[in-house]
Amino acid sequence: MKLLLKAAKIIDPGSKYHHKKVDILIEGGIIKKIGASLKIKDVDKEIDLKNLHVSKGWFDSSVSFGEPGYEERETIKNGLKVAGQSGFTQIALNPGTNPVLDNNGSITSVKSKAENNAVQLFTIGALTNKSEGKDLAELYDMHQAGAISFGDYKKAISHPNLLKLSLLYAQNFDGLVQSFPQDDQIAGHGLVNEHINSTSLGLNGIPALAEELQIIRDLYILEYTGGKLHIPTISTEKSVKLIKDAKKRGLDVSCSVAIHNLIYTDDELVEFDTRYKVLPPLRTKVDVKALRKGVLDGTIDMVTSDHTPIDLEHKKVEFEHALYGTIGLESAFGALSTIFDLDETVSLLTKGRARFKIPEVEIKEGNQANFSLFDPEEQSTFNKENIYSSSKNSMFLDLKIKGKVYGIINGTRSSMPTIG
């Protein structure tokens, strides 16, 4: 099939076409020609969209669906459709399913269900059996099956020796270990950020100390063992400082931040709306400012939607009993565009692959097409009609956003209503 993208402005600082408006011919999933006002015969589909911009395909390092076990929240098939319509060509799936993705067979099964899709699914294997935090899972076997990293989703590694062993063992195959940044003993029965708002609302708080103590411990262990450590979804000012210092000391550590922690503060909790119940919790304006700075100066390696579908039965309940999580794929681009400029936003959405050994595909003739397509200027209010997920637990509802996603092209496949 021949596809011709008309008058597409390329956003890719590493490309000679950066900020240039060009036509792009794609044939059999390969970029055949890039140039101004191409005249091509026998084109199967011509894509000419308002203010069309194109970048390298976006990547999200922390996405949850439901299948297997929680299909009422999201299936793999629909979840990947959501990712594509949201502009993502590749996502990393968290292991928090039922059963947990903690062995070769479960990794292989999930990957097989994602085959022949425009969005490529990569798997994160659980670090411990059943994510119970007791015994290491079959890390090497999962690595052989294609797992790109290992971590227990939203569960802290309570036993320091377990982290030590995992970092040592994973070095045998250059594996990447993830450690969720929370000391559960300090967090206790906390539900939200421990601060003025938690006190005034009468909600148990999770102090910033719970995150920072865990990060300090993990960094000391990493310094002792060597290896590669990824700390997902940090949320405090001091966490940024700790990781920045660790990188200066030469430690092989990376981290991410959830987009909602860059947008919202715990001021949103005033009406006890469970859409704002996330882990780590929404913090303060000081933390948000530090996180944004950390993103821009490179201390924070990547952003993530931390997309977590939760069914109505477990979200529309009393705040104490509601499960943690918000969906975020659909709102990722529009939300980021409200706080960062276009080049910064696209850069953040395309970062992170190298950490997980996922090759990047440059926009140049002869390469496979791996594109996100969007209009960066259109302004709107995010509402329920913008949600493609089966679950609707989005804290971004009613947020004024900037930008519209058209979809993706990835090789011979696409996820975009305009081109089928």
Known catalytic residues?
306
Scanning the structure block, which residue is given the tokens 């882990």? 279
The distance of Cα 178 from the centroid of its chain, to the nearest Å, equals 14
CA distance 132 to 86: 33
CA distance 242 to 142: 31
CA distance 42 to 2: 8
Q: Kindly give the residue spans of alpha helices, DSSP state H, lying in 96-138.
A: 104-113
Residue 232, C-beta contacts closer than 8 angstroms, at least 6 positions apart: 61, 62, 151, 178, 180, 181, 255, 256, 304, 306
Evaluate the omega torsion of the peptide bond into residue 13 and state whether it is cis, within 30 degrees of 0: no
Which helix (H) or strand (E) is 370 found in, with range?
A: strand 370-381
Structure tokens at 1: 């099939």
Q: Which residues pair with 371 in a beta bridge?
A: 56, 409
Q: Where are the beta strands (DSSP E) in 12-87?
A: 21-27, 30-35, 45-47, 53-56, 58-63
Q: Where are the beta strands (DSSP E) in 111-261?
A: 120-125, 149-150, 176-178, 192-193, 205-206, 228-231, 253-258
Q: What is the dihedral of CA 177, 181, 187, 188, to 10 degrees?
A: -10
